[in-house]
Structure 1
Amino acid sequence: MQNITLFQFFHWYYSPEGNLWQHAREKAPHLASLGVTHVWLPPAFKSAQGQNDPGYAVYDIYDLGEFDQKGTVRTRYGTKDEYLEAIKAFHENGIQVLADVVLNHMHGGDETEKVRVQQVDPENRMEKIGEPHDIDAHTKYTFPGRGDKYSSFKWDKNCFTGVDTSADSIFVILNEHTHGEWDEMLEDEKGNYDYLMGADIEFRNPYVREELKHWGEWYLKTTNVDGFRLDAVKHMPYTFYNEWLDHVRGVAGKELFCVAEYWRNDPEKLNHYIEVTEGRVQLFDVPLHMNFHEASEQGNDYDMRNILHHSLLGINPARSVTFVDNHDTQPLQSLQMPVQQWFQPHAYALILLREQGIPCVFYPALYDAKYVDYQDDKEIYIELQGVTCVEKMMRTRCHLAYGFQRDYFDHGNTIGWTREGVDDREHSGCAVVITNGSAGNKKMEVGKRHAGKTFIDICNPEAGKITIDEHGMAEFYVGDGAVAVWVREETLHFFTEP
């Protein structure tokens, strides 16, 4: 069975010119050649900001770039037809598609209505300010551009738990479902972390739950996607997704790959979510990303023996989706904690070439990213360069990184591991050494199946060749602050473009 590799095919600042779906269709063969098995596409539905938002300020989940709403027919990424064509192209290349599902909140209501609310302290949502009163809130969603096509459901104040008028003015809504109280959450950050942004969806309303199940069924049948990336689950009752996922999987008649974003630097908290959802989802390994960020900041002062400690990978590797960076962590974003460029090859080696976890490769690692944003009223130019050797690592994962794993996490700066290979993948096996310090070497066992065979470092062809001894051992070298991926010489054909 081929190793699973997920690819995030977008970044926060991808051009609003509407060509992402076309671009994805064109790149599908290339990604397949690198061993990508699953691709995560951005939110495909209409945003309250039309084509000027990456898709997380949700307006109409039924509008995939089909209706003239919010000043545009297409979304930031293209039209509905182009989206469906991109999915078809991935399927034709043997790649499954994950849709980005954003069901926590909505933005851009079509009409205002009088809503009875109670203001809360934004830093402690359980602490109420003043007395209940009425405000005019944009909580009526009638979708005049779409009408009743696909669904006649109209959203109003009874469908939401809370709203805001600014970052400092957050209100819990008083209706028959909320009774002026937030829903129960697993998290107690800010007192209760039910509210995130916009008009917060009320999952205690049974009509809302049924409408969202209807939408999930419609989305599957319309797009033929193979799974989901679930946004902001920390702010939603886990019981809803237990119910929703069971429904859509029943409709699909198959297991749907599902990975959720629970943003918390605490592996025990992540594992608890996996437990209460009874293994229905994978989770992005946020603590591991934080380790990568910290290691990239500390340079050779970071103890590489600890790089996998305090991570979901360490306590529940079967449910860990590992990543180096994503759209939220890239520079100028709300969760900005990028992994510095020099350490990205190290981090990608750790997620792509080891046995545990399912790696997710971020778009700029392969295709670069350039963009301009503003910070403190100053224009900031950002350029993210592709990661050195990442394509070769992806090909190594696809063809060679199989079999028994031996770890050599025995030095503060230089660590390594080997994969012995398997019988049904010819010449499979590899040895990896990474260092955040000076050049060095590590004696490691790759297995007697490779005795007498010549290995080369695909990340540094000038490193020369080594021969595995009769015991399956060799001294594997790595350059200053570098990554070395050693493979058998006869596998070089895997690393040339088809």
Structure 2
Amino acid sequence: MKKITSTPLLYFLVLALIFSCSSDDDTVVDSDDDNGMEQPEPVSALNLSDYDNGSRVMMQAFYWDVEPRFEWWNTISGKIEGWANVGVNRIWIPPASKGQSGGYSMGYDPSDYFDFGNYEQHGTIPTRFGTREELEGMISVAHDNNIEVIADIVLNHNSGGGLEYNPYRERDTYTLFDETHGNASGMFNRDYEDFYPNSVSEYDPPSLFYQETNLDHHRERVQDWLWKDENSVAKYYKNVMGFDGWRFDYVLGFEDFVIQDWLEEVGGFSVSELWDGNPEIIRNHIDATGSGAFDFAAFYTMEQAFDRNDDLTELTNDQVWQTHPEKAVTFTANHDTEKDDNEDNIIASENKLKAYAFIMTHPGYPTIFYLDYENPEFQEQLNKLISIHNSLATGSVNIIYNDNDEYIMQRNGDGNNPGLILYINTSGNAKRRTITTSWNSTILMDYSENSSYYPMADENGEVTIEAPANGYAIWSVTE
């Protein structure tokens, strides 16, 4: 995959020049006015498959409380070929092992790391998602379509064990995990010594979940069972089950060395859920672990720009992709942000496609949320955005113009790849703006097909482009 560069200092110097030289009312015209220009005849679009930039996108292949229960692995299996055909190269699935909630568990209350729906415990043999056989079948279908399967790994909190007296807490705790207490596989049996505090670790780290069953990763046997031994969670998931990478859940609940050691032991693609809007905190985690991370800084930037503050100047805020483009996993929604009771951490549906246009054209590794892709109002446009991302979204970033309701950005391309220009407009009227591009003496078109306008860039690269009301267009050259 080609390396995409975006130097933060240059990025903001260019931005400063834009704000100092541009005026919002000098070149904006209504879209039904050709501004005295002759409209060129439509010409042939580029064949985007000829401009494969090596980039792809990931599908989050679930949502909270997926239905129908016990059928999810089969549901995914039936969609994988279609996802592969449009340019998806990885699917992220929910935690696949048995949780305390049994057939109702989304997997984030892990009890038996090695029960994939083949042991009877917590009131069920299959997990909420199906049987082990169906999971292995789904993974096989994915591999047949050149798609990697990313396992969601919950490494700090456990749930569903039996009661035992815990001398370090001086009371009974649910810290006994064995064949008859939430660990029917008999692998990685645990007791109170494996959780904080214990005879080795007095420290009791803060955790939002299951404080008394927070695994102590400093203990040698915990490390052996999680990633070191041949039958460890990491090696069993990779070598026996066939998982290709990792999504580390709630990394604020344990120390960076856990992920660093895990990846040194088994490798594979990885992305951390570090839910914090501060990009420096996320960058520090990336540097310390070697793992990728979800770009929550970009998510909150988009939420503020499109929803909360309705101000596109916020799209230039500090984001992880600006400095770590190959490690920043960008997204517009996930299973947590889209929960029914969520009011504060969500990008509104009417702004979703603009947010997807942003992440599909900027550096980073975009993720598509399952329910967004299944939305019939979104899917056709998302397929176009994936195609644009996998072809023309390459090269350095140049912010051409930005104000409260307009954002124009150019990816400068790479070699024979011409790159693209993204024009977002959140006003109630269609807009046009005359800009200077790196293209000259060529006709442009909107590859998102939200505009049927075909402007001509002159010999100096000057061209007037447009964006529909409360929408976007993605411009590039034609044949």
Tell me if both proteins adopt one fold, taking TM over 0.5 as the criterion: yes
The answer to whether 1:442 aligns with 2:430 is: no
Secondary structure, counterpart of 2:465 in structure 1: strand
Query: Which TM-score applies when normalising by structure 1?
Result: 0.78
The answer to whether 1:182 aligns with 2:233 is: no
Offset at residue 403 of structure 1 (A): 3.8
Does the 8 A contact of 1:455 with 1:467 survive in 2?
Answer: no
**Percent identity over the alignment?**
25
CA distance in 2, matches of 1:289, 1:275: 20
Gaps of 5+ in 1: 119-133, 162-172, 184-192, 250-255, 369-383, 491-498
Give the alignment's Cα RMSD to 1 decimal.
2.5
Counterparts of 1:2-151 in structure 2, within 5 Å, are: 2-109=54-161, 111-118=162-169, 134-144=170-180
CA distance in 2, matches of 1:112, 1:145: 9
Secondary structure, counterpart of 1:91 in structure 2: helix
User: Which position in structure 2 is the counterpart of 1:164?
Assistant: none
User: Which position in structure 2 is the counterpart of 1:378?
Assistant: none
CA distance in 1, matches of 2:244, 2:64: 23
Residue among 274, 287, 290 paired with 1:262: 274
User: Which position in structure 1 is the counterpart of 2:223?
Assistant: 209
Residue range with higher mean Cα deviation, 92-101 or 307-316: 307-316
Deviations 1:129-171 (A, max 9, x none): xxxxx3222211113499775x54321111111xxxxxxxxxx
User: Which position in structure 1 is the counterpart of 2:193?
Assistant: 158
CA distance in 2, matches of 1:328, 1:431: 32
Offset at residue 389 of structure 1 (A): 1.9
User: Which position in structure 2 is the counterpart of 1:372?
Assistant: none
The alignment of Structure 1 onto Structure 2 pairs a total of residues equal to: 421
- Letter of the aligned partner of 1:456 in structure 2? D
User: Which position in structure 2 is the counterpart of 1:122?
Assistant: none
Secondary structure, counterpart of 2:387 in structure 1: helix
Offset at residue 329 of structure 1 (A): 0.9
Offset at residue 236 of structure 1 (A): 0.4
CA distance in 1, matches of 2:125, 2:310: 50
Secondary structure, counterpart of 1:241 in structure 2: helix
CA distance in 1, matches of 2:238, 2:447: 44
CA distance in 2, matches of 1:140, 1:264: 33
Return closer, same or farther for 1:102/1:152 CA change in 2, 3 Å cut-off.
closer
Secondary structure, counterpart of 1:114 in structure 2: strand
Residue among 341, 345, 352 paired with 2:360: 352
- Letter of the aligned partner of 2:94 in structure 1? P
CA distance in 2, matches of 1:334, 1:136: 34
Deviations 1:335-383 (A, max 9, x none): 85110112111111111112x2111111111013xxxxxxxxxxxxxxx
Counterparts of 1:328-477 in structure 2, within 5 Å, are: 328-332=336-340, 337-354=345-362, 356-368=363-375, 386=378, 389-422=381-414, 429-437=419-427, 438-448=429-439, 451-461=441-451, 463-477=452-466
Offset at residue 225 of structure 1 (A): 1.8
Secondary structure, counterpart of 1:201 in structure 2: coil
Offset at residue 106 of structure 1 (A): 0.9
Residue range with higher mean Cα deviation, 10-19 or 53-62: 10-19
Secondary structure, counterpart of 1:317 in structure 2: coil
Offset at residue 38 of structure 1 (A): 1.6
Does the 8 A contact of 2:111 with 2:183 survive in 1?
Answer: no
Secondary structure, counterpart of 2:265 in structure 1: helix
CA distance in 2, matches of 1:468, 1:289: 33
Return closer, same or farther for 1:197/1:331 CA change in 2, 3 Å cut-off.
same
Residue range with higher mean Cα deviation, 436-445 or 34-43: 436-445
Deviations 1:436-472 (A, max 9, x none): 2232123345543x733341353425x3333333344
User: Which position in structure 1 is the counterpart of 2:30?
Assistant: none
Secondary structure, counterpart of 1:37 in structure 2: strand
Offset at residue 487 of structure 1 (A): 4.4
Counterparts of 1:480-495 in structure 2, within 5 Å, are: 480-488=469-477
Offset at residue 93 of structure 1 (A): 1.5
CA distance in 1, matches of 2:472, 2:283: 31
CA distance in 1, matches of 2:133, 2:316: 43
Offset at residue 101 of structure 1 (A): 0.7
Does the 8 A contact of 2:156 with 2:254 survive in 1?
Answer: yes
Does the 8 A contact of 2:438 with 2:461 survive in 1?
Answer: yes
User: Which position in structure 2 is the counterpart of 1:478?
Assistant: 467
Does the 8 A contact of 2:411 with 2:421 survive in 1?
Answer: yes
Return closer, same or farther for 1:487/1:145 CA change in 2, 3 Å cut-off.
farther
Offset at residue 327 of structure 1 (A): 0.8
CA distance in 2, matches of 1:475, 1:294: 28
Does the 8 A contact of 2:337 with 2:346 survive in 1?
Answer: yes
Point out which structure has higher relative CO (alpha carbons under 8 A, 6+ apart).
2
Secondary structure, counterpart of 2:167 in structure 1: strand
Deviations 1:394-424 (A, max 9, x none): 1111233234543224322101123344556
Return closer, same or farther for 1:423/1:267 CA change in 2, 3 Å cut-off.
closer
Secondary structure, counterpart of 1:476 in structure 2: strand
CA distance in 2, matches of 1:317, 1:401: 12
Secondary structure, counterpart of 2:318 in structure 1: coil
Does the 8 A contact of 1:51 with 1:72 survive in 2?
Answer: yes
Return closer, same or farther for 1:436/1:16 CA change in 2, 3 Å cut-off.
same
- Letter of the aligned partner of 1:320 in structure 2? A
CA distance in 1, matches of 2:393, 2:83: 18
User: Which position in structure 1 is the counterpart of 2:305?
Assistant: 295
CA distance in 2, matches of 1:147, 1:316: 40
Offset at residue 72 of structure 1 (A): 1.3
Secondary structure, counterpart of 1:416 in structure 2: strand
Does the 8 A contact of 1:68 with 1:145 survive in 2?
Answer: no
CA distance in 2, matches of 1:257, 1:68: 32
From the two aligned structures, give the one with the greater strand fraction. 1
User: Which position in structure 2 is the counterpart of 1:231?
Assistant: 249
- Letter of the aligned partner of 2:441 in structure 1? A
User: Which position in structure 1 is the counterpart of 2:318?
Assistant: 310
Secondary structure, counterpart of 1:484 in structure 2: strand
Return closer, same or farther for 1:39/1:464 CA change in 2, 3 Å cut-off.
same
CA distance in 2, matches of 1:237, 1:335: 30
- Letter of the aligned partner of 2:97 in structure 1? F
Offset at residue 195 of structure 1 (A): 5.2
- Letter of the aligned partner of 2:191 in structure 1? D
Query: Which TM-score applies when normalising by structure 2?
Result: 0.81
The answer to whether 1:245 aligns with 2:234 is: no
- Letter of the aligned partner of 1:61 in structure 2? Y
Does the 8 A contact of 1:434 with 1:484 survive in 2?
Answer: yes
